[in-house]
A and B are shown apart, each in its own frame.
Chain A
Amino acid sequence: MRMGIRRRTELAPYLFLLPNLVIFTLFIVIPTLANFYLGLFRTSPSAPPQFVGLENFRYIFTVDDLFKRSLSNLASFMVFDVMAIVVLSVLIGVLLNQSIRGRGFYRSAFFFPVMLSPVVIALVWGWILNNRFGLLNAMVSRIGLDPQPWLLKPDLARFWVVAVHVWATVGFFAIIILAGLQSIPASLYEAAEVDGSTTLQNFFYITLPLLAPSIMTVSLLSMIRAFEIFDHVYILTGGGPGTATMMVIQYIYRAAFELDQQGRASAASLVLFVILLVLALVQYRIGKQKEAL
């Protein structure tokens, strides 16, 4: 019996993994490796690739100011973006899980922005944030404050880039939280109620700890989504003012498609990959320790 189970568990997981792994390897792993290999070449559409060794890496780290700037822009964007998404998605998730009238409507309302394409999102927020004719400045001056150049000052632009991205994605993360809330047995709340626990206590002593796996999911996914932030920012600010909101993917996009330096873009994406690999390992370790407890 024991032997039987063990032998079964040896083969079964691989079979379950197989279909996903075949497609994953064929369409993600191999192309990614091919892309890294390109990082060793200088490329241009009008000449054959030329092997340059680690030159692209030397260039982006020692010569190019924009790569470092895009990394630090990304780091600060990520910190605020992930924090805002985690806090807001838990808040929204918990509220949307209340048995209130019109719950379906509220859920849809929060989810709607997720369905819009970045192009359209940037268009409507451009209307809202325009410094001369925007809706926001119209409202700000109506209550007697000074209109602001929302997207023309570096710090304000950084704030709005986070805010618009959170606006566009928080609905998706809230439904992950919502799904997580379903795994918390209602009996726990009933027991707590008998003990006279308040709603707030319930939240901190039951909901939050039991929601930890979902919060972990949201924080890691939002972190990864922050890494690949591109379209929303690129269309809203073009990476500006100046280069204040230029992130790494925009750097890669610029190198590959605006400057025709595919090799340099590949080198930059390898650096990004390594950073993410380290973060994934750290996160995985923390996750494992939690599971072991």
Chain B
Amino acid sequence: MRSIRLVALLTLALVPAMVWAVGGKESSAAEPAQTVIRFTWFTDGPDKAAIEAVIADYMSANPNVTVELSIVPYAELNQLLATQASGGQAPDLARVTEPYRFFDYALDLTPYVSPGFADQFLKGSMMMVRAPSGALVGFPHDLTMNGPFINVSLFKKAGIPVPTGKVTWESLFEAASAVQKATGVPYAVAADRSGHRLDGIVQSYGASFFTPDGKALNLQSANTTGAFKYFVDLHKQGIMPLEIWAGGSGYVGGNQQFINGQLVMYISGNWQVAQFASTIGDKFEWAAIPNGFNAQSGGMPGGKFVMAFKGKTDPKEVGKFAEYLGSKAAVEKYASMAMFLPARNDLIASGVAYPVRTDVMNVFSAGLAMMPATAYSDNYHLKFGPVANVVRDRLTQAIADEISFDEAMTRMQREAEELMK
């Protein structure tokens, strides 16, 4: 009887004892002698070395500050930050794509940065880091731009000229298709399976997911429905491969086929440039071309934000570091190393010198200026992510021939309406 209790109590005691043993040790070890700024980051490759270099510069200029960079996979980023923030354990800064998710937990940087700070960045992107309360929760750190890549060597081999200037998507796809037939490669055109990439294509047709004022859905408009129908038909005609959009692709993404020289045209964005430059090497010649131009130019902006969270760290130090990260020198160094487009007005105007393929990067930055206003209003809509996923999934059903196109549009509208409530 006694021994049972004894053992039971002992085991019960074991749990908290271990907690204290382990927890105690770690927290005492973590006691900072100086300011520690915790910075959560996700990486698409070359940006990691770039941000580390920028941070190292700051730390050598400010020996009282230690910036702890913590790298996490993008797929779990939103869940991770929302969970940690709800427990009062958010990092001081984080690289995010959708700042509005964390407005409740955000630090208002206004008192801690210089007055003109916010005006130095692209206005459209700046909207994303203004909370409804007017708080400034961060700044746009880089921009991305959607657009097509082409395998120039295949065009040359087929004897078909590379399209230049304002060309419709139809003629771009026709050219790619002709090149595919002439050269015998398996794929003509591929687009990433993403509502965001799709929106960049359909923008050319005057289509958009939301009305320009952002108050309502625009999926049922003639322009949008027509462009969706065309996109589905591209798969039925075999111009776009089923592997990517119908599902069942595993990891066979368009970038893999493009790197292998088996794909004539790949609709993606400037974030591919660094990896293409290293993996393609001199196997073949490739380039970026402007988005298709039907009623207007296509394309879709995107980008990453650096955002500040409320926490125990001295907000003055967080603000000072954030202002440094957004400064001209730091952004220029970062964008150049990572091969991203800058979101600062002065650098957009002057351009950034890239280590390789500045020509390709220039095609993307030129595209930024041509982008229709609805591309911005779609991308910065609070419901863009969810609605884009509904569009993606319902079109997938039509592409896979599971349901008719009309049925897909009905279900898309019904589900998207539910999200707008």
**Cross-chain contact B402 with A241 (CB below 8 angstroms):** yes
Residue from A12, A64, A258 whose CB has the most chain B CB atoms within 10 Å: A258
In the complex, are the beta carbons of B242 and A152 less than 8 A apart? Answer: yes
Which listed residue (A16, A42, A245) contacts B8, Cβ 8 A? Answer: A16
Assess the A259–B386 pair: CB atoms within 8 A.
Answer: yes
Query: Please, what's the 1-or-0 string for B244-256, where 1 marks a CB less than 8 Å from any CB in chain A?
Result: 0011111110000
Residues of chain A with a CB closer than 8 A to B8's CB:
15-16, 18-19
Is there contact, CB below 8 Å, between A239 and B390? no
A158 to chain B, nearest CB (A): 11
A259 lies within 8 A of B396 (CB): no
The answer on a CB contact under 8 Å between A46 and B103 is yes
| A137 within 8 A of partner (CB) | no
Given A45-B82, A243-B397: A238 touches B15 (CB 8 Å cut-off): no
| A260–B246 alpha-carbon span in the complex (Å) | 23
Interface residues of A in 112-150 (CB under 8 A from B): 122-123, 125-127, 129-132, 149-150
Is there contact, CB below 8 Å, between B247 and A239?
Answer: yes
Closest A residue to B242 by beta carbon equals: A152
Could you tell me if A242 and B401 are in contact, using CB atoms closer than 8 angstroms? Answer: yes
Find the A residue at minimum CB distance from B245.
Answer: A240
Residue total for A at the interface (Cβ-Cβ under 8 A): 48
Shortest CB-to-CB span from B419 to chain A, Å, is 6
Are A46 and B396 neighbours in the complex by a CB distance under 8 Å? Answer: no
Known contacts A12-B4, A46-B382, A243-B402; is A130 also within 8 Å of B15 by CB? no
User: Of B4, B101, B390, B400, which is within 8 A of A240 by CB?
Assistant: B400
Chain A residue nearest in CB terms to B187: A132
Bound-state Cα–Cα, A134 to B396, Å: 23
Q: How far is the CA of A222 from the CA of B364 in the complex (A)?
A: 50
Cβ contact within 8 Å between B250 and A240: no
Closest to A45 in B: B101
B414 close to A (CB within 8 Å) = yes
A165-198, CB < 8 A from B: none
Whether A125 pairs with B402 at a CB distance below 8 angstroms is no
Shortest B403–chain A CB gap in Å is 8
Chain B residue nearest to A63 (CB atoms) is B414
Q: Considering the chains assembled together, what is the distance between the CA atoms of A56 and B401 in angstroms?
A: 29
Task: Flag whether B78 is at the interface (Cβ < 8 A).
Answer: yes
| B389 close to A (CB within 8 Å) | yes
Interface pair B78/A257, CB less than 8 Å apart: yes
The 0/1 profile, CB within 8 Å of A marked 1, for residues 379-421 of chain B is: 0001001100110010011011111000000010011001101
User: A244 an interface residue at 8 Å Cβ cutoff?
Assistant: yes
Residues 27-54 of A at the B interface (beta carbon under 8 Å): 42, 45-46
Q: Which residues of B contact A132 (CB under 8 A)?
A: 186, 243
> Nearest-CB distance from A108 to chain B (Å)?
26
B1 at the interface (CB under 8 A from A): yes
B249 near A123 (CB under 8 angstroms)? Answer: no
Q: Which residues between 198 and 253 of chain B lie within 8 Å of chain A, taking CB atoms?
A: 242-243, 246-252
CB distance from A229 to the nearest CB of B (A): 16
Chain B residues within an 8 Å CB radius of A259 = 386, 389-390, 419
Q: Enumerate 29 A-B pairs (CB-CB under 8 Å) in ascending A order.
A: A8-B1, A12-B4, A15-B5, A19-B14, A19-B15, A22-B12, A45-B82, A45-B100, A45-B101, A63-B418, A122-B250, A122-B251, A123-B251, A125-B250, A126-B249, A126-B250, A129-B250, A132-B186, A151-B247, A154-B402, A157-B247, A157-B248, A237-B249, A240-B247, A241-B247, A242-B247, A242-B396, A243-B402, A259-B386
| 9 closest Cβ pairs, A-B complex | A240-B247, A126-B250, A151-B248, A242-B400, A242-B402, A15-B8, A241-B400, A45-B101, A259-B386
Q: Which of B's residues lie within 8 Å of A, judged by CB?
A: 1, 4-5, 8, 11-12, 14-15, 78-79, 82, 98, 100-103, 186, 193, 242-243, 246-252, 382, 385-386, 389-390, 393, 396-397, 399-403, 411, 414-415, 418-419, 421
